[in-house]
Structure 1
Amino acid sequence: MDNMDIINHVRVNENRKRDVMIEQGKFLEMLKEIMEVARVQENRISKEELANLLGDVELSEEQFNSVYAYLAENKIQVEGFVYVPPKKEVEIPEEEKVTEEDSVFLKMYKEELQEVEHLTKDEKEVFLGELVRGEERNKQHLINGFLHDVISIVQKHKNKGVRVEDLIQEGNMGLVMAVNELYGVAEAVEEAYLLNVIEQAIIAAIDEESNEESEEDTIVAKANLIREAAKQLEEELGQAPSVKELQAYTKITEEEIRDILNLSKEK
């Protein structure tokens, strides 16, 4: 919404009680004064202050909302007015396009994500500023905007042993938790902070999977060692070796040997 859109919405009530278009120059000066007042108040202004600055200009509710939206688009928050940015037509990023290789879940997720709003860097900073001040009105818009970043970050870490959809889920969970934790912290937070939180959540999921696989490989190796030791000792002793004898031969603790033998029996 530009200055001409606002001007075309605004009318004044003259003594003869007929509506006429307000002089453009005068209204532009009023807008400029309103914005200057808001700037010195940390880009905030109340509806009452705005009405006082407009003086004898009488506006309908729709016209006031047009003024509020114009101010919001210029990074000024009108107290009590929730601004929802208009949905932008954006080109779908490559990583969000559905492909034949995607699982059913991933296809559904990408299709839904294409309907989710995109936020500019400035919009993210405004909504983050509101959140840390304890204002929740645009919290969901903030989360939605960063969902696109999650899938972009996941592309950097795919093919590392964890399914893409699982990485997306971990990234989304990290995002939501971080946003909730930022509510009312009263400290400046930049976009890069949330991007880092998302990436760390994804990396942690990959590391956890890697550690689990490493642990499984270790158990398999020890089980093979115990099996070979049992064969060797049985040939030497003429009978099945005891756990204590296996421990002396393999240097694996008796408790761990019992656990591995029990796992083998269960399989």
Structure 2
Amino acid sequence: MLILLPPSEGKAAPSRGKALDLASLSSPALTDARSAVLDALVALSAADVDAAAATLGLGATQTDLAARNATLRTAPTARAEAIYTGVLYDALDLASLDAAARRRLGRVAVTSSVFGIVRPADRIPSYRLSGDVTLPGLGSVAGHWRTHLGPAVVEAVGTGLLVDLRSGTYAAFWRPSGPVAARTVTVRVLHEHQGRRKVVSHFNKATKGRIVRAVLADGGTPRTPGAFATQLRDLGWDVEEGAAGARGTELDVVVRDL
């Protein structure tokens, strides 16, 4: 099983730690593609921090985040599980998992605008780059990863189930097809109130974090979308399974309390 998460926009910045070593990261076939993004992002941020902030979609009070990008190759690193923050990662709370669940962290990967995908144990610096940015010298970040990411994800999934929890921006980096799609499940969280259902962004993220935490703690290894739906039901969620499509099977997790 591979659980593919979106990144967080906000990230913790380690105060100390060794510098980035691209060769040490998982999915080493992505090294050249990662280096290309780093080169473009560092060059942009080092040349003119105000222009970099504008390109990155940052506000006037966030130029420090653009400046931080200029030092990515030498900045302190930490495990990716400590870098990504925000609603989903707060609910997931990987650091507090018991020893058995932590041994299953190899089932998790995070989509990254800079690194393609990273595993929780990969040491990376704090960076700021959204998936919808176009970088001078590189082009569209999403387009760059559409060219390079697929084989790495397919290798990471192997013959197991892909649980794709990415948001739309990061789903555009790579979309499952063929045999992998038949083993792919996506999850949509719907809030039901007075008979009406809608997606609530904050609660969608928090629920996905809780789902991943529960799945890691449970330890089951479902190999089909239907088996994953059964696992979630056994863990207490109200799950509705959609029909299989060209890019996988969609599950709706219906929640009634915010």
TM-score (norm 2): 0.23
Higher relative contact order (CA 8 A, sep 6+): 2
Bigger fraction of residues in helix = 1
**Structure with the greater alpha carbon radius of gyration:** 1
TM-score (norm 1): 0.22
Bigger fraction of residues in strand = 2
